[in-house]
Amino acid sequence: MDTPRNLKRTYGQYLSDNVNSFNTVNNIGATDERPQILAWISPLESWKRHHDVSNVRVKGVGEWVLETAEFQAWRDGGDERPVDKTLFGCGTPGAGKTFICSLVVDSLCNSVVDSNVKVACIYCDYREQKEQVPAAMIGGLLRQFVAGLPVIPDDIIRAF
């Protein structure tokens, strides 16, 4: 018979089991496996590269890009904007494309108000062509999204 005492014990055991399960899963996100899993997803460390570029970018340089109608229309979008629209910038080597991109990424990160919106980036470098194969680059985007999660999803852990 389920007495209040037995129900309390059963409910308490249920809570304890769930907390233990949560802690086990959560520990995967906090242990040494997390960096290994992220490196397995992709060896590319795009945010490290982004921070390196941002740290040496001269303040104020390139801000004009953020003020162009093309950039603002792309950023602000709306229903009239196709989902697959790409902001494209080109230039000769050394023209400053990498610094402009880091400025755009920082601007996007600072303007995101919806917690469901994430910003990811990849910096291509001619000196790293062997590492920057399509699978690693797509994995680099996935790595950034997974790194931003408090817990690595079970499907990724199982695949690892």
Taking the C-alpha atoms of residue 136 and residue 42, their distance in angstroms, rounded to an integer, is 5
- Residue 25: phi and psi, rounded to 5, are -65, -45
On whether the CB atoms of residues 136 and 43 are closer than 8 A, the answer is: yes
pTM: 0.71
Low pLDDT (below 50) residues in the chain: 7, 19-21, 23-24, 27, 29
**CA dihedral defined by 7, 9, 14, 16, rounded to 10 degrees?**
160
Taking the C-alpha atoms of residue 57 and residue 102, their distance in angstroms, rounded to an integer, is 8
Question: Would you state the pLDDT for residue 29?
Answer: 46
Burial class of residue 92, CB neighbours in 10 A (0-12, 13-18, 19+): exposed
Question: Would you state the pLDDT for residue 17?
Answer: 55
Question: Would you state the pLDDT for residue 86?
Answer: 76
> Which positions ≥6 away from 158 have C-beta within 8 Å?
none
